[in-house]
Chain A
Amino acid sequence: MNALAFLSELARLATDPVTLLLVLVGAQVGIVFGMLPGLTATMAMSLLTGLTFSLPASQAVAVLLGAYVGAITGGSRSAVLLNIPGTPAQAAVCLDGFPLAMQGRAAEAIGLSVTASTLGTVFGVAMLALFAPLLGQVALRFGTWEFFWLAVFGVVIAGSLTGGGDPLKGWIAGTLGLLLATVGHDGIHAYPRFTLGRVDLQGGFALIPVLVGAYGVSEILTVLRRSERVVVQTRLDRVLPRFREVLRHRWHILRSGLIGTFIGIIPGVGEDIASWVSYDVARRTSRQPEKFGKGAIEGLIAAETGDNACIGGACIPVLTLGVPGSAPAAVLLAALTIHGLKPGPLLVLQHPETVWQVVALFLLATLAVFVLSLTLVRPMVRILLIPREALMPLVYVLCVVGSFAISARVFDVWVMLGFGVLGFALREMGYPVAPLVLGFILGPMADDNLRRGLALTGGDPTPFFTRPISALLLGLVVLTVVGRTALGAWLRRRRPVTEAPAVT
């Protein structure tokens, strides 16, 4: 990477008013889409790809990168304020962000999450600039066997983390999510499974209605169930966190940045997994792991840094291999191709200026999102002053719009409602919702890679246990299950399970 060429590209773009305006517009649209439950980064970028079709490539990319960073960062607003993740990547942010808001520290939580997001994005983009070719090579070592274990590992981690003192309930929710993901055509032979003869079910349950139902509708029912009114008074003394406060968490930021970038590089694994793994590692390495799920700043910072660092990581395989690292990165890849740029090894070798341009635009987008997000913290925190049951009709309408917008089918809205009732029932019985959703997201990955791995060896499962990265991931799964089961037994001996509610 030629630093001088990169700096000159950055200076050129930063002084171009049209580019700056487009980055700002993209960032603001992204923040709005990210904030609203059911509207995702992928959806924002898909819509903007069409709207920016007539623009020159560099200007279209400016809008799309602004929207990408904006949506991933903006999703934490509703996660912190309403306990509803704006995008799947923010499910882990709810765990500590919402308890912080309930403690009257919403402004602080948002300020910290925006700062962590910004640092995470900058970290990921720096890695993109410095190590794109090298890290692309590492990701290539992941085969079908490793992807299977990665999916299992993700569900086991989520179940362990969110099950409170009862990891079994977390794992049950995760398995249920994996199982429900098998409904519809299978990914290898397109065989219709468990469709009950219904055409609507042949494509399976769509992710967005499942996500919106499990989080949004179940939250609506939970809020409306209570007759007492909950209005949270929050302190608005300081939004921008003190430098000392950020510096205190430097190792969490650095570690989550590395984890997020690495997970972003792995094709098909996106911001949501990066967020969960970062959160898990932060909890394991924390001196106060018992505070996680109850408003731990470390947890919030780790989850936010991880999912945003994943943005830069996910763009590494896009630019170097032409393979998307996440769903929004797949839209970015499509947009680059539409505009005549052909991502892949040749792009990096023959047109390095394109890579520098993407990196420079990423940095501008990050800056724009940082400024816009912090400017809007105070009006957003006022949402908490409105009684929550007053917001719920609007939230339900937004959930319906988000679910319907994916493919304009009323069936998806029914799916949303069904998963909402399921999520509500699970929550009321102490089961966490997050592993259900993560299991649903990772189900196709686990299913396809298990069968593909077996098919490649004619039914011999040995590589699942003997390949180095597979063995490592399997070891982590076993350690997590055994460790949490033993820990769970110990916790149960110390206190009844009713005193350790699960985190949803």
Chain B
Amino acid sequence: MSEGGKKEPAPADTLAGTGLAALAGGFLIAALGIPSSTALWNWYDSPGLTPALLAGVLLVQAAVLLVRSRGGRGVEDVGPGWVERARSWGVGRVLLALVFCVGFVVFMGRVPFGVLVAAFVFCMTLAFRGLDPLRAALLALGTAVGVTVVFGRLFFVPLP
């Protein structure tokens, strides 16, 4: 909220509204690109009908969100000191977790699943719990053996 009682746009809603409007616009354009009438279907059972309607609804909802955000109903401001706020919010921890999660998927099928599980649990445990390496390794080994035996051998669940 700015001084003098004038409301400032709510950044989170403005950001979300803009993103949603862009997404809905993209879906709408793609849906309108689907032929509305062919030898197989008419306009009323065209595959593009429902997505076009839904994209239209989402566009309206995003517009309401944007209009509302101009009225100053928001979550928080972006201003000086945002780096500090991002740090205290935990952006570094989220990015680190995402790196491990993405890495797990990237190595799936390239490394034996048990080894991958053990490495993932070991790294996550060290990074987020700060256990000593021996305990982390034991935990990782136990998890890897447990997961592969229970799912692979007992339940016959296909593992990567």
Task: List residues of chain A with CB under 8 Å of any chain B CB.
Answer: 29, 39, 47, 51, 168, 171-172, 175-176, 178-179, 182, 186, 188-189, 191, 193-194, 217, 220-221, 224-227, 387, 389-390, 392-394, 396-398, 400-401, 404-405, 408, 410, 413-414, 417, 420-421, 424, 429-431, 446-447, 450-452, 454-455, 458-459, 492, 496-498
Known contacts A401-B147, A410-B108; A189 and B41 CB within 8 A of each other = yes
Which of B51, B64, B117, B120 is within 8 Å of A194, CB to CB? B51
Contact A225 B108 (CB under 8 A): no
Asked if B109 and A400 sit within 8 Å, CB to CB, the answer is: no
Cβ-based interface call for B115 (8 A) = no
28 A-B pairs, CB-CB below 8 angstroms?
A168-B61, A172-B65, A175-B58, A176-B23, A182-B50, A182-B54, A189-B47, A221-B98, A225-B89, A225-B93, A225-B94, A387-B129, A389-B129, A396-B120, A397-B121, A401-B147, A401-B157, A404-B159, A404-B160, A410-B160, A413-B160, A417-B105, A421-B98, A429-B12, A450-B53, A454-B44, A455-B44, A492-B73
A393-B143, A401-B151, A410-B105 given as contacts; is B45 within 8 A of A224 (CB)?
no
Given A227-B93, A401-B147: A172 touches B129 (CB 8 Å cut-off): no
A398 neighbours in B (Cβ, 8 Å): 147
Seen from chain B, the residues whose Cβ lies within 8 Å of a Cβ on chain A are 12-13, 15-16, 20, 23-24, 27, 30-31, 34, 40-51, 53-55, 57-58, 61-62, 64-65, 68, 73, 75, 89-90, 93-94, 97-98, 101-102, 104-105, 108-109, 117, 120-121, 124-125, 128-129, 143, 147, 151, 155-160
- Are A397 and B58 in contact, CB atoms less than 8 angstroms apart? no
- Of chain A, the residue at the smallest CB distance from B76 is A498
Contact B158–A224 (Cβ < 8 Å): no
User: Do residues A221 and B94 form an inter-chain contact, with CB atoms below 8 A?
Assistant: yes
Question: Most chain-B Cβ atoms within 10 A of its Cβ — which of A178, A400, A414, A451?
Answer: A400
Asked if A451 and B49 make an inter-chain contact with CB atoms under 8 angstroms apart, the answer reads: yes
* Neighbouring B residues of A417 by C-beta, 8 Å: 101-102, 105
Smallest Cβ distance from B149 to chain A, in angstroms?
12
Interchain CA distance A424-B91 in the complex, whole Å: 12
Q: Do A176 and B49 have beta carbons less than 8 Å apart? A: no
- Of the candidates A175, A404, A455, the one whose C-beta lies within 8 Å of that of B54 is A175
